[in-house]
Homo-oligomer: A and B are copies of this chain.
Amino acid sequence: MRVVTTARTPTRERRSRRAEILDAAAELFAARGFHGVSIEDIGGAVGTSGPALYRHFSGKEALLAEMLLDISERLHASAAERVTAAPDAESALDALLAGQIEFALSHPALITVHDRELGNVPEPARRRIRRLQRLYVEEWVTVLSELHPGCPPPRLRAATHAVFGLLNSTPHSAGELPPEAMTPLLHAMARAALAEARR
């Protein structure tokens, strides 16, 4: 059979195709959930159709795994850097807050997928992601322990998760405020909330 396909020039390689697919998939997963998005949807979102995706990922779950792994690594690495660069616990906390807020405001889809879709990641990768998430939380808890000595770690962990919820609420209030106003507001609210954990 004769296939008169569109003769496109694949020489254009402005950005890695993998990254392009990951971005599109993140947007779709955030909007409709992992199982609500088909391979065809993802392919369509990057201009190719369907199974072209398998040239870049071994499957749908592997795609998700790589996405979550990348997010967890970026968050944890950024936190570790910021904490070691800070002169004291006070500024370390501010740096952690600034990092999380910046990430949440600039990548709302990634944040959304990050705390919704862990359950769909197959087992080998799931553990690695969990580990990174735990390390990230412990980064916060360590700083807070220094700030609130004598406060039991479980309480600090609960407070940390609560603050994550506060900061990650960004996707739900999209458009309410411009980022220049949202950033200091979230920072102030989170800081005040964490001060209450002291008991």
CB pair B158 A164 closer than 8 Å: no
Interface residues of A in 144-199 (CB under 8 A from B): 154-155, 157-159, 161-169, 172-173, 176-177, 181-182, 185-186, 188-197
A36 contacts chain B at the CB level, 8 A cutoff: yes
Report A117 CB to chain B, min CB distance, Å: 8
Q: How many chain-A residues does the 8 Å CB contact rule pick out?
A: 42
Question: Which residues of chain B come closer than 8 Å to A196, judged between CB atoms?
Answer: 185, 188-189, 191-192
Chain B nearest Cβ from A67, distance in angstroms: 16
Given that A32-B119, A34-B36, A192-B192 are contacting pairs, would A165 and B161 also be in contact in the complex, using a CB cutoff of 8 Å? no
How far, in Å, is A15 (CB) from chain B's closest CB?
28
Shortest Cβ distance from A32 into B: residue = B119
A122 within 8 A of B: no
A116 close to chain B: CB less than 8 A = yes
User: A77: CB under 8 A from chain B?
Assistant: no
CA distance A191 to B193 in the complex (A): 8
Complex alpha-carbon distance, A168 and B197, angstroms: 17
Give chain B nearest CB distance to A118 CB in angstroms.
10
Compute how far the CA of A141 lies from the CA of B62 in the bound complex, rounded to whole angstroms. 43
Complex contacts, A173 vs chain B, CB 8 Å: 157-158, 161-162
- CB pair B166–A115 under 8 Å, yes or no, is no
A152 to B141 Cα, complex, angstroms: 34
Chain B proximity of A138: nearest CB distance (Å): 13
Q: Which residues of B contact A177 (CB under 8 A)?
A: 154-155, 158
* A-to-B contact residues, CB < 8 Å: 31-36, 115-116, 119-120, 154-155, 157-159, 161-169, 172-173, 176-177, 181-182, 185-186, 188-197
